[in-house]
Structure formats: C-alpha cells, structure tokens
Amino acid sequence: MDFELTEEQRMIRDTAREFAAREVAPKAAELDKTGRWPTEIVAKMAELGLMGVAIPEAYGGAGMDTLSYALAMEEVSAACASCGVIMSVNNSLFCDPVYKFGTDDQKKRVLAPVARGEKLGCFGLTEPMSGSDAQTMITTAEKRGGVWVLNGAKNWITNGPHADWILVFAVTDRSGPKVRHTAFLVERGAKGYTQNAPDHKLGIHAAHSCTVFFDNVEVPEAHVVGPAGDGFKVAMATLDGGRIGIACQAVGIARAAFDKSVEYAKERKSFGVPIAQHQAIQFMLADMATQVDAARLLAWRAAKMKDAGVRHTPESAAAKLYASEMATRVTHKAIQVHGGYGYSTEFPVERHYRDARITEIYEGTSEIQRMVIAGNLLK
Ligand code: CAA
C-alpha cells in the first residue's frame, strides 16, 4: 500500500495544521476549563471545508477523500480533542451515511447544508440500556397513517445539544426471527423531539453530548435513510468509517502529548543535564514515537481501503483499538516525563490524558473492537 501523500492531501493537512496551531490550540485550555461550545472554531472549520471533507462538492462537501479527512482529523485533534470529535461526528457519523445511503433529495436538502457546516449533524444509536449490544435498542418507529412515529431515548449523543439533524435508529419490525431496525432523519424542532442538559464528563469538555427524547415524533417516509429494515447495517457500516475518525483523533491527542514531552525533556534538567539525556526518558520517548506512528499507519490503511471501496470492518476496528489504547499509554507516559508538572493543570498533558480516555469507549469500546476483529479472524 502506497502511503505517499498526494499534493491535495498534503495541502489539506497543512491547511488544517496551520489553522489548528493558529486558531484552535491557543483556545484549547480555555475550552477544556469552561466547557464552552467552540462556535467560532466550528464556523471556521466549516469555511475550510472540514465539516464535510470526503463529501462531493455537488453535495456541499470539500470533495476530498477519506485519507484527507484522516489527516485533518489528526491535526485538529492534536490541538483540541473536543473540536476533533465535533468534526468527526459531523463527517463520519452524519454526512457519510447520508451520502452513502440517502436519496438524492436527502443529499440535496439535508446533507448539503450539513457538509457545508451551515447546519450540524449527530448520530443516535446508543440508549441508556443499550450500548455495546446495539441491537437491543428499544426506541421504536411505527408506521401510522403514512408517517413513522418514533418513541424512545438515545444517550451520549455527541453534538446533540447543538445539532440541527439527528440520524437516529429505531426498531421497526419484531415479527420475524431477527429484529429489524430502520434509520431516520429527524430535524431539530420536530414536535416531541427534546434534549436534556449536556453531560458532565472527564474530558472533551467542549464537545457537548446529551440524552435526546422522542415522544411520538412524526417522521415522513422521505426521511427514511436506506431501506426500511436495514438500519442496523447502515449503523454498522457508518461505524466502520467513524472508527477511522476516532483512531485519528487518538493519534492527534497522543502526538500532541508526545511533542510536548520532547520539548519538556530538552529543557528540564536533572542530575546536571537535560532529562532528554537520560536513557530512562529516551526509551519512553522512543516507545511513544513508535506507537504513534504504528497507530497512524493502521488508520491510514483503513482510510485507503475505504477510499478504494473495499470492506474495511476489521481494519477500522484494529486502527481504533490500537490507536485509542496507544493514546492512553502515550499520554500516561507524557505525564511521567513531565513529573509533577505533568499532573498540574498548568501544563496541557493532563488534558490530553483525560481526553484520550474516551477514545477507548465511544464508537465501540476496545472490547467490541476485539470482538469485531476476532469475529473476522475466525469466520
Ligand atoms: N457493515 C455492514 N453490515 C454489518 C456490519 C458492518 N460492519 N457488521 C454487521 N453487519 C450486519 C451483519 O451482516 C448482520 O446482517 P444480517 O442480519 O443480514 O445477518 C447484522 O448487521 C447484525 O450483525 P451481527 O449479528 O454481527 O450483530 P451483533 O448484534 O452481534 O453486534 C456489534 C455486532 C459489532 C457488537 C455491534 O453491536 C457494535 O458495533 N456494537 C458497538 C456499538 C457502538 O459502536 N456504538 C457506538 C455509538 S456511536 C458513538 O459513540 C458516537 C459518539 O458519541 C462519538
């Protein structure tokens, strides 16, 4: 597999890197501390085409590929993991499935403004009693008088408090041997669709999530995404792409913590020399660099397979599994390199450590990724 970047891919990486350094990184500590939603950063990401990177221009996107998206995700996440996940939910969990499974009308009317970043999207799969075992959802949609009527609740909905559209999954048929699910588009403001207050979390404080409720929400047939009854496949295929985004978010977080560790190790002295001259520190840095690179390559492999139109379920799972656990290890070591200062909120590595942790949980826990990988190995 050729990992040489094209001119266009280098351009989007450099644009995202420069934007992240100039406009995102200087605000990351404040966003973490206050939990403020980064309105101005989301608007700027939209202007740069980062809210619909791999969506064709005809549908409001930047018309680039998944690898370009991966590159931009790493850059934004290295500066601010909250901004990274806001971007990834919009790109991977909303735009990608509507583009892949939606009707032309849905793409023009719903996808295009979301891909341009004028509107925001989110994804409703998880429920209070149904996380890893997603098929056990109890949200239902019943066809009544020509419309679908949705009832239930979805939680941990990243972007939920601000999203204009949710792609939501509900049970639509329990009559056969297998429960069938269907994917629906619901617009903010639809009667009976409400959200509660944002969740309080360990990290990614500026990426708001919440529980959303559907109380007899009427959804027209025109808002069904993909064939009725095939919603679970829509969700799973979407997560195959989403996991690439989260892998890149984890790589970005870890890279940021690693870069700061190198800088600190060159400045901080102990026993008469910069700590970078001690083998104990050098070995930590060497391991960190190797693991960041390995995770990036796994993510790029999955991205290139997605671009080639090849099924990439286990490759995405492996990228997400390795990158997320790597980010926890690398940010842990970054604190160790910084010693007591690493534990202080004066230095950014404790934020990276807190932000990294969620990447092992959302879009499928590490245990689910192992199940997916093992399932593919043994079939
Ligand atoms: N692509 C397409 N179809 C797929 C698929 C894929 N990757 N994986 C499974 N399917 C299909 C299967 O072929 C099967 O089809 P049939 O019914 O026709 O046979 C159907 O889907 C059911 O598949 P399984 O029997 O394998 O399903 P399962 O119940 O055993 O569950 C699972 C599989 C992998 C455990 C799944 O439930 C899963 O991924 N769980 C984790 C859920 C998750 O990641 N949630 C994250 C929420 S989003 C989020 O976190 C957003 C955020 O805030 C950032």
pLDDT in tens, 172-203: 999 999 999 999 999 999 999 999 999 999 99
Closest C-alpha residue for ligand 1 atom 40: 132
Q: What share of the chain is helix, strand, coil (3-state, %, to 5)?
A: 55, 15, 25
* Residue 362 CA, closest ligand 1 atom number: 50
DSSP code, position 226? S
Task: Report yes or no: 354 and 309 within 8 Å, Cβ to Cβ.
Answer: no
Confidence tier at 303 by pLDDT (50, 70, 90): very high
Domain ranges of the chain: 7-120, 122-232, 233-377
Residue 146 is encoded by which pair of tokens?
């020509």
DSSP string, 142-206: EEETTEEEEEEEEEEEETTTT-SEEEEEEEEE-SSSS-EEEEEEEETT-TTEEE-PPPP-SS-TT
CA gap 253, 346 in Å, rounded: 17
- Say if residues 20 and 75 touch (Cβ distance below 8 Å): yes
Whether the CB-CB separation of 346 and 353 falls below 8 Å is answered with: no
With beta carbons less than 8 A apart as the criterion, state whether 165 and 98 touch. no
Arithmetic mean of pLDDT over the chain: 98
Q: Which two tokens stand for residue 227?
A: 């064939």
* Architecture in CATH of 122-232: Beta Barrel (2.40)
This prediction's pTM: 0.98
pLDDT tens column, 123-162: 999 999 999 999 999 999 999 999 999 999 999 999 999 9
At 244 the pLDDT is 99
Ligand 1 atom closest to the Cα of residue 126 is 47
CA 233–ligand 1 middle distance (angstroms): 7
Catalytic residue at 363? yes
SS3 (DSSP) at 207? coil
Nearest C-alpha to atom 1 of ligand 1 is from which residue?
237
**Residue 211 CB contacts under 8 Å (≥ 6 apart), including other chains:** 128, 153, 154, 155, 156, 157, 160, 195, 196, 199
Residues 9-36 have pLDDT tens digits of: 999 999 999 999 999 999 999 999 999 9
CA distance 245 to 364: 12
What class is the 233-377 domain? Answer: mainly alpha
pLDDT tens readout for residues 66-78: 999 999 999 999 9
pLDDT band (50, 70, 90) for residue 292: very high
Q: CATH homologous superfamily of domain 7-120?
A: Acyl-CoA dehydrogenase/oxidase, N-terminal domain (1.10.540.10)
Q: Which of 18, 346, 363, 367 is catalytic?
A: 363
Fill in the amino acid letter for 334: A
Please tell me if the CB atom of residue 240 comes closer than 6 angstroms to any atom of ligand 1.
Answer: yes
